[in-house]
Structure 1
Amino acid sequence: MTTLIIPGYRGSEKGHWQRQWLAEDETARLVEQDDWENPVLSQWLHVLEAALAETPGAILVAHSLGCVLVSHLARRPSAAHVAGALLVAPADAERMAVHDSKFRSFAPLPRHNLGFPSIVVASRDDPYISFNKARALADIWGAGFVDMQYAGHINIESGFGSWPEAYILADSMRRPQERFRTQRAA
């Protein structure tokens, strides 16, 4: 089962746990946007949907604005190809859009069940979203929730180069799919 790595604004820099995942997992693929500095929802969705068309049944591992991208994808037909999503440190695109117009296309944040297994991972001191809003989004999206306590934006600046727990969380969404296939084959 393929893992699609979906960074947020500016992509995930060298040393970020998403880049390390790509280096360590030969089945992982980066969803490479044409312009990491100027996010446009329609363009980013097109790239993500093309990646899903090539790898149906993928697990999505998103960070920051990438989480918002995945939440917008959930209402589109291509969401049927998502096996699950790990949504780490979602960004508050609504608040970001107030301060910088380049984020307007990502607002408002979708407020509907995603329709596929998902886990939101949030921190109590993330500068890009309040903890309470992240928890509320997890509830609205129908996602599990992991409280990372005081872990900042769960990126390289807050000490998350290598992050083995991310593999465990993503793997928790793979196992039910694999058990189902094994039971059907029996």
Structure 2
Amino acid sequence: MQKILILHGLGGSDYPHWQAVLAGDLIKQNYTVSFPSFPKRDNPQLKEWKEFLKKEIEHFKPDTIICHSLANVLWFQTCDELDISLEKLMLVAPVSRTRVVEAAKTFYPYTPPKDLKAKEVIMLASTNDPYMTEEEAMLLKEDLNVEINIMQNAGHINAESGFGSHDFALDWLTKDKNEKGYL
């Protein structure tokens, strides 16, 4: 059974955030899910989050990772240090390389890695995300050499921006099962 690791950003992704709802729905569909809460999630330190992530990956051994917001930067800062090969990686609402969020300043600057350690990668961004412009998202897409879906007026793709659906993630995660007739 596929093992999915869901990584939240600054402040967490508690219900009604789409990541929390997605975790529950995946469990109902018999996926194995880990949705850990990082330490000091309102005032994170990169070093602590990296060590936490490394331990979680070593313990859980995920096939797929779903990152939201600051978790994307965490993945960019950590993946080169990991001996891992993921089936899938979803990067949702990454944050700008140039606008440092004060509460997470230890995560900056960041450089996109050349190898994201996944066979299939998709990035989702929004036309009106306050933490990354559409133009910045397109530049990051080019640097990462990944597919991107730009969502119209989805803000930071979270509950606070009025975006609560997780269908985009569930559809992408289950597409192979659906194509094979499992659902």
Residues 85 and 48 of structure 1: CA distance in aligned 2, closer, same or farther (over 3 Å): same
C-alpha separation in 2, matches of 1:20 and 1:83: 22
C-alpha separation in 2, matches of 1:93 and 1:136: 10
Q: Are residue 163 (structure 1) and residue 166 (structure 2) matched?
A: yes
- Root-mean-square deviation (CA, aligned residues, Å) is 2.0
**Which position in structure 1 is the counterpart of 2:49?**
44
C-alpha separation in 1, matches of 2:91 and 2:124: 6
CA shift for structure 1 position 146: 0.6
Identity over the aligned pairs, expressed in percent?
29
C-alpha separation in 2, matches of 1:72 and 1:57: 18
**Which position in structure 2 is the counterpart of 1:182?**
none
CA shift for structure 1 position 44: 0.7
Q: Are residue 82 (structure 1) and residue 86 (structure 2) matched?
A: yes
**Which position in structure 2 is the counterpart of 1:10?**
11
C-alpha separation in 1, matches of 2:173 and 2:97: 24
Which of 58, 62, 69 is 2:67 aligned to? Answer: 62
Alpha-carbon contact 1:89-1:154 (below 8 Å) kept: yes
The residue identity in structure 2 corresponding to 1:7 is H
Taking the TM superposition and a 5 Å limit, the aligned residue runs for 1:101-180 are: 102-113=103-114, 114-116=116-118, 117-171=120-174, 175=176
1:86-120 CA deviation, whole Å, 9 max, x = no partner?
010011254124xx2x3222111223322423211
Residues 171 and 72 of structure 1: CA distance in aligned 2, closer, same or farther (over 3 Å): farther
**Which position in structure 2 is the counterpart of 1:33?**
38
Q: Tell me, what secondary structure is at the counterpart of 2:61?
A: coil
The residue identity in structure 1 corresponding to 2:35 is L
Give TM-score, length-normalised by structure 2.
0.84
Residues 10 and 2 of structure 1: CA distance in aligned 2, closer, same or farther (over 3 Å): same
The residue identity in structure 2 corresponding to 1:35 is K
Give TM-score, length-normalised by structure 1.
0.83
1:61-103 CA deviation, whole Å, 9 max, x = no partner?
111101111111221124x243321010011254124xx2x32
C-alpha separation in 2, matches of 1:158 and 1:150: 9
| More helix by percentage | 1
Q: Tell me, what secondary structure is at the counterpart of 1:72?
A: helix
C-alpha separation in 1, matches of 2:131 and 2:165: 21
